[in-house]
Amino acid sequence: MKKIINDPKRVVDESVAGFGAAHADLVRVEMDPIHIVRADAPIAGKVGIVSGGGSGHEPLHAGFVGFGMLDAAVPGAVFTSPTPDPILAATKAVDGGAGVLHIVKNYTGDVLNFETAADLASVEGIDVRSVVTNDDVAVKDSLYTAGRRGVGGTVLVEKIAGAAAERGDSLDEVAEVAERVNANARSMGLALTPCIVPHAGEESFTLAEDEIEIGIGIHGEPGRERIKLEPADGLVDRLLAPILEDLPFESGDRVLLFVNGMGGSPLVELYIAYRRAAEVLGERGIEIARSLVGNYITSLEMQGMSITLLKLDDEMVELWDAPVQTAALRWGR
């Protein structure tokens, strides 16, 4: 295992400490229990937004703490949901009296730990609402399963809900737009290579030199299917087809196209994928009104990508365009 780390057990602590030092203008870092809050939190009268989950998906979530997006991020151990304590601490730290929204990716661990934290926060008199993201079309959705995973759509939910909270929307309103973004987002990912969790020290799965995994999530888990490597255009088509038919996205729709790197793929490749995705959407009469390309929700050093489509309405566009000032996403200020 080759990594720029010291002790595998201190990866998250040291990285968060470094993040805090590098972005002291944006955030304040608390180490016990570990959480990252906006430098100016709590903001009286503003809905606080807290997200979190296992580490290893950076810049998600700490990279999205700041003006117009998250008020706090709670990092767990690598690929492990945080426990309720730091989620509760973060919730308290960002409560400005208008309530707090938890944005939770749909994984059993995240859902349960955030649930406990929300219960504890309610006991302390904080109004908490939760939105669970579940945009991954690679997973079959059913009442009898754990349901779809929250992946790329989470970034879009955090940006848009963050903008709604920043303009002063109520907790109900912020939760509503977050739900709406999640309901209109669909994603699918693939991996060219596995990743290595520091404490495990071994590759999360093994792939032959000509094999890739289709339908992966963001935890180094294998996907639904293993196929032979194909040219980029074919890969993009494979990701887009189930996304397009799931919502479905149709001619005349306006979308945000998000091509996300899993961490280890160079930007050149993401733009090659973007080119094809734009071509396919164009052929179908779907208008790309906004786009995002880069490594925003990752699996450590995994090579691969995911594509997320969000069907936009006017309010979402307005909130997407609203100023944001975080370590990883910034515009308008």
Partner 1 sequence: MGLDITWAVDWVRRSAQVVSDHRIELITLDREIGDGDHGENMDRGFQAVLPKLDDLHAGSTPGDVLKLVATTLISTVGGAAGPLYGTAYLKAAVAAGDSVSLDAEAIAGILTAARDGIVLRGKAEPGDKTMVDAWTPAVDAATAAAADGADALGALQAAASAAWEGAAATEPLVARKGRASYLGERSAGHRDPGAESSALLLQAAADAAAASAGA
Neighbour tally for 20: CB within 10 Å: 17
Residue 199 binds ligand ADP (CB under 6 A): no
Is 222 a binding residue for ligand ADP by CB under 6 A? The answer is no
Strand pairing of 128-133 and 72-78?
A: unpaired
Query: Which of 35, 61, 102, 219 is labelled catalytic?
Result: 219
Binding-residue pattern over the window 48 to 77 for partner 1, x denoting contact by CB under 8 A: ------x---------------------xx
Q: How many helices, marked H, and strands, marked E, lie in the chain?
A: 8, 14
| Out of 231, 241, 245, 285, the residue judged to bind its own copies by CB under 8 A | 231
**Inter-residue contact 63 to 41 (CB < 8 Å):** no
Query: Which parts of the chain are beta strand (E)?
Result: 27-31, 34-38, 48-55, 72-78, 100-105, 128-133, 185-191, 211-214, 225-228, 254-261, 287-294, 304-311, 324-325, 330-331
11 counts as binding partner 1 under rule CB under 8 A: no
Are residues 59 and 295 in contact, defined by beta-carbon separation less than 8 angstroms?
yes
For residue 314, give every residue at least 6 positions away whose Cβ sits within 8 Å of its Cβ, in sequence order, or none. Answer: none
Concatenating the DSSP letter of every residue in 17-48 gives: HHHHHHTTTTEEEEETTEEEEETT-S-TTSPE
Interacting residues with partner 1 between 74 and 103 (CB under 8 A) = 76-85
Parallel, antiparallel, or unpaired: how do β-strands 287-294 and 254-261 relate?
A: parallel
CA distance 103 to 84: 14
Which range binds its own copies by CB under 8 A, 16-24, 132-140, 220-228, 308-316? 16-24
From the CB of 4, what's the least distance to partner 1, in Å?
A: 20
Q: Which does 165 bind (CB under 5 to 8 A by kind): ligand ADP, partner 1, its own copies, none?
A: none
Query: Is 69 within 8 Å of 37 (Cβ atoms)?
Result: no
Instruction: Decide: is 79 part of the binding site for Mg ion (CB under 5 A).
Output: yes
Confirm or reject binding of residue 6 to ligand ADP (CB under 6 A). Answer: no
Residue 23 among the catalytic residues: no
Position 294 contacts ligand ADP (CB under 6 A): no
| Pair of tokens at residue 50 | 């807290």
Selected range binding ligand ADP among 103-111, 173-181, 250-258, 283-291, rule: CB under 6 A: 103-111
Q: Catalytic residue among 57, 61, 102, 199, which?
A: 57
Asked if residue 80 binds Mg ion (CB under 5 A), the reply is yes
Among 13, 115, 269, 301, binds partner 1 (CB under 8 A): 115
129 binds partner 1 (CB under 8 A): no
Residue nearest to ligand ADP (CB): 109
108 touching partner 1, by CB under 8 A:
yes
Tokens 């919730």 correspond to 91
Chain centre to alpha carbon of residue 262: 11
Structure tokens that stand for 27 in this block: 């955030």
Written as six digits, the tokens of 107 are 């994984």
User: Do the Cβ atoms of 29 and 20 come closer than 8 Å?
Assistant: yes
State the residues that interact with Mg ion by CB under 5 A. Answer: 79-80
* Residues known to be catalytic: 57, 219
Residues that bind partner 1 (CB under 8 A): 54, 76-85, 107-109, 112-113, 115-116, 138-140, 144-146, 149, 197, 199-200, 202, 204-205, 217, 219-224
The footprint of its own copies (CB under 8 A) covers 2-7, 11-12, 14-19, 21-22, 55-56, 58-59, 63, 192-193, 209-210, 212, 229, 231-233, 235, 259, 263-276, 278, 291, 293, 295, 298, 300-301, 303-305, 325, 327, 330-333
